[in-house]
Amino acid sequence: MKDLNAYRKSYEKSELLEDSISSNPMELFHHWFQEAENSNTIEEINAMTVATIGLDGFPKSRVVLLKQYSEAGFVFYTNYNSEKGKAIKNNPNICLSFFWHSLERQIIIKGIAAKVKPEISDAYFASRPKGSQLGAVVSNQSEIIASRAILEQKLTNLEIEFKDKELPRPQNWGGFIVKPLEIEFWQGRPNRLHDRIRFEINNDFNWKMERLSP
């Protein structure tokens, strides 16, 4: 057994106090996201973990890329027939999380996922590089395949077929928007007394802010 007990880090870069933040968690998210962008210390700021409950009853997490966010929610794209797509169809209650190590911050979002309108998926698909478009068509995401050579051959065939043509968005590929019900902001602090501020949506659609013990 490898002993990791000596792995220690003191978090001392910032603080999260109620009287210095917005009462709207989406405004606070935007502020933190901009600070992450401006820090120039994070390679993929929009990388986030998506956790779902699978058809087998087990939770599963994977990293995807956030592509849009607004007061309405957080948008990412995937194959609707993938493992995560099927899990969301079966149970739309999911969790998103961001961890920005260099800023000693994380954000945890509980919400309900739903497909975005087809025209939104169409517009995003059309904006992708041709290679990414082809990859979305070639891959039956999460399905078992015999070898990588099969993928590469399918890609070659599709490149020839659509060399001088636009590629339409596959109907089984598109976006999900996650409507947040709870957003927790975590700021690392010394002595493991981290700041945790949680926002929960009320029945009147206003946000309630609470501090959690670390």
Catalytic residues: 192
Amino acid at 204: D
For residue 137, give every residue at least 6 positions away whose Cβ sits within 8 Å of its Cβ, in sequence order, or none: 158, 167, 170, 173
Sequence-ordered list of residues with C-beta below 8 angstroms from that of 122, at least 6 positions apart, any chain: 169
Distance CA 106, CA 186 (A): 5
Phi-psi label, residue 177: left if phi above 0, alpha if psi -120 to 50, beta otherwise: beta
For the chain, the farthest-separated pair of C-alpha atoms sits apart, in whole angstroms, at 60
Work out the angle at residue 159's Cα, subtended by the Cα atoms of residues 155 and 163, and round it to the nearest 5 degrees.
Answer: 170
Q: Which residues of 196-207 are buried (b: 16+ CB within 10 A; e: fewer)?
A: bbbbbbeeeeeb
